[in-house]
């Protein structure tokens, strides 16, 4: 029996894996100590749990354990990376240049806009028709005062994966730090911090079947250690970078979600990619006028973003009631403007508005995919049908 609506919005958030929930539960009640309390066993137990989770996360992404700085999520991690590097330079009066791209997440674009208003020079690179950043465009845009390049690993709307290693090699050759928002990639494609060449990396738990409200900024140590300014003060937690009482249950859940991802990422990715292809092939067999948004091959296994010709975008979203999907990023769903990502790849406003983002995840089934094909097909055919008027 299929439960309606079918959840196909796993880029917005994922269901918490039952194994993750079980790992978290004791830390809400039985093991409730503060990880910063060093004078009694309750604090010791909490601190040990935090460090165990930190190690699980670091192992999953091949990073040193001490490089993991816990935050409230990826938005805070992105802000800490971008503002933490640029703000001190602006305050000291240095000429400062920041680079990102037109399809980046708003959690990077909006801080970049704020820094621009504060006096930073900001370059927003274009992307190609698939949403990829050309490494050569990064090389061409780097200046003597470039303080940071921020390029996401995988796009949250269209699933396109960027050539981060090539971009990182260029940045390293020019001695420019690279920040990578790896939120959508973690648990879905390989994320290898040490071998990526990145200096800063943002990740979060709720995109890989962990809890909401916990993320991390990975900060490379050594090699010209980056000096980040904290976003706020008070307590000096997380090596003076992120003050605040650590949410032990959430951190434990983050670690467990990463451990599970390490064990089953390849199998998950293969199965989810086959479901995505089943959805795409099923829709193509029933409908014409479909436009695939994003790279045809270099994309996240569970992502399918489609624009539908001849359909009103508002009507499409209003009628697709039996499946849970979105028309863009969940973080910008309150914004009536068309997706900045789809605009960046050259889609016209009508196709941009008449688009659906399907995010397939660990708990989806073939029956649910077949149901989605039939439901979307019926909706689109209905919306395309000419109005029948009575004479």
Question: Tokens in use for 387?
Answer: 């109005």
State residue 241's pLDDT score: 93
Domains of the chain, first to last: 6-14+265-384 (3.90.1150.10), 18-259 (3.40.640.10)
CA-based radius of gyration for the chain: 22
The tens-digit pLDDT sequence of the chain (391 residues) is 899 999 999 999 999 999 999 999 999 999 999 999 989 999 999 999 999 999 999 999 999 999 999 999 999 999 999 999 999 999 999 999 999 999 999 999 999 999 999 999 999 999 999 999 999 999 999 999 999 999 999 999 999 999 999 999 999 999 999 999 999 999 999 999 999 999 999 999 999 999 999 999 999 987 556 889 999 998 889 988 999 999 999 999 999 999 999 999 999 999 999 999 999 999 999 999 999 999 999 999 999 999 999 999 999 999 999 999 998 655 555 556 789 999 999 999 999 999 999 999 999 999 999 999 999 999 999 999 986 444 4
Residue whose pair of structure tokens reads 């990526």 in the numeric block: 196
High-pLDDT (> 70) share of the chain, % = 95
Q: What is the pLDDT of residues 39-54, one digit of tens each?
A: 999 999 999 999 999 9
Q: What is the pLDDT of residues 294-327, one digit of tens each?
A: 999 999 999 999 999 999 999 999 999 999 999 8
State residue 89's pLDDT score: 94
Burial code of 76-86, b = ≥16 C-beta within 10 A, e = fewer?
bbbbbbbbbbb
Give Cα separations from 112 to 51, 80, 85, 121, 136 (angstroms).
Answer: 32, 12, 12, 9, 21
Selected catalytic residue, list 16, 319, 331, 378: 331
Indicate whether this model's pTM tops 0.85.
yes
> Quick count: other Cβ atoms within 10 Å of Cβ 1?
4
State residue 336's pLDDT score: 63
State residue 6's pLDDT score: 98
State residue 288's pLDDT score: 98
Cα distance from N-terminal residue to C-terminal residue, the chain = 44
State residue 226's pLDDT score: 84
Query: How far is C-alpha 265 from the geometric centre of its chain's CA atoms?
Result: 16
Q: What is the pLDDT of residues 270-283, one digit of tens each?
A: 999 999 999 999 99
Gap between the Cα atoms of 276 and 359, Å rounded: 9
- State whether residue 311 is helix, strand or coil: coil
180 is catalytic: no
The DSSP string of 197-226 is: --SEEEEESTTTTS-TT-EEEEE--SSS--
State residue 251's pLDDT score: 98
State residue 329's pLDDT score: 54
């Amino acid at each position: 029996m299929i439960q309606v609506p079918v959840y196909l919005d796993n880029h917005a958030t994922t269901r918490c894996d039952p194994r993750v929930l079980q790992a978290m539960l004791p830390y809400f009640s039985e093991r409730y100590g503060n990880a910063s309390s060093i004078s009694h066993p309750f604090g010791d137990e909490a601190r040990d749990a935090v460090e165990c989770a930190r190690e699980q996360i670091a192992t999953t992404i091949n990073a040193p354990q001490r490089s993991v700085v816990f935050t409230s999520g990826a938005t805070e991690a992105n802000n800490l990376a971008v503002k933490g590097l640029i703000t001190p330079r602006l305050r000291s009066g240095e000429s400062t240049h920041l680079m990102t791209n037109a399809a980046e997440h708003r959690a990077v674009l909006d801080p970049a806009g704020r820094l621009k208003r504060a006096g930073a020079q900001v370059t927003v690179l274009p992307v190609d028709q698939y949403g990829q950043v050309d490494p050569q465009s990064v090389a061409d845009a780097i200046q003597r005062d470039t303080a940071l390049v921020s390029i996401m690993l995988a796009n949250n709307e269209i699933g396109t994966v960027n050539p981060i290693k090539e971009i990182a090699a260029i940045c390293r050759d020019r001695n420019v730090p690279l920040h990578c928002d790896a939120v959508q990639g973690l648990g879905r494609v390989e994320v290898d911090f040490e071998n990526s060449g990145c200096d800063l990396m943002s990740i979060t738990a709720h995109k890989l079947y962990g809890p909401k409200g916990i993320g991390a900024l990975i900060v490379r140590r050594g090699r010209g250690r980056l000096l980040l300014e904290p976003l706020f003060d008070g307590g000096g937690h997380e090596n003076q970078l992120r003050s605040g009482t650590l949410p032990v249950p959430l951190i434990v859940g983050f670690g467990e979600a990463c451990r599970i991802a390490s064990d089953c990422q390849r199998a998950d990715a293969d199965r989810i990619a086959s479901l995505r292809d089943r959805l795409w092939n099923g829709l193509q067999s029933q409908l014409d006028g479909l436009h695939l948004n994003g790279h045809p091959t270099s994309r996240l296994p569970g992502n399918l973003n489609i624009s539908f010709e001849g359909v009103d975008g508002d009507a499409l979203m209003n009628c697709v009631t039996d499946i849970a999907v979105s028309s863009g990023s969940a973080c910008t769903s309150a914004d009536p403007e068309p997706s900045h990502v789809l605009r960046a790849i050259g889609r016209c406003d009508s196709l941009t508005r008449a688009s659906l983002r399907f995010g397939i995840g660990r708990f989806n089934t073939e029956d649910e995919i077949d149901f989605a094909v039939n439901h979307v097909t019926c909706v689109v055919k209905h919306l395309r049908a000419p109005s029948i008027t009575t004479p």
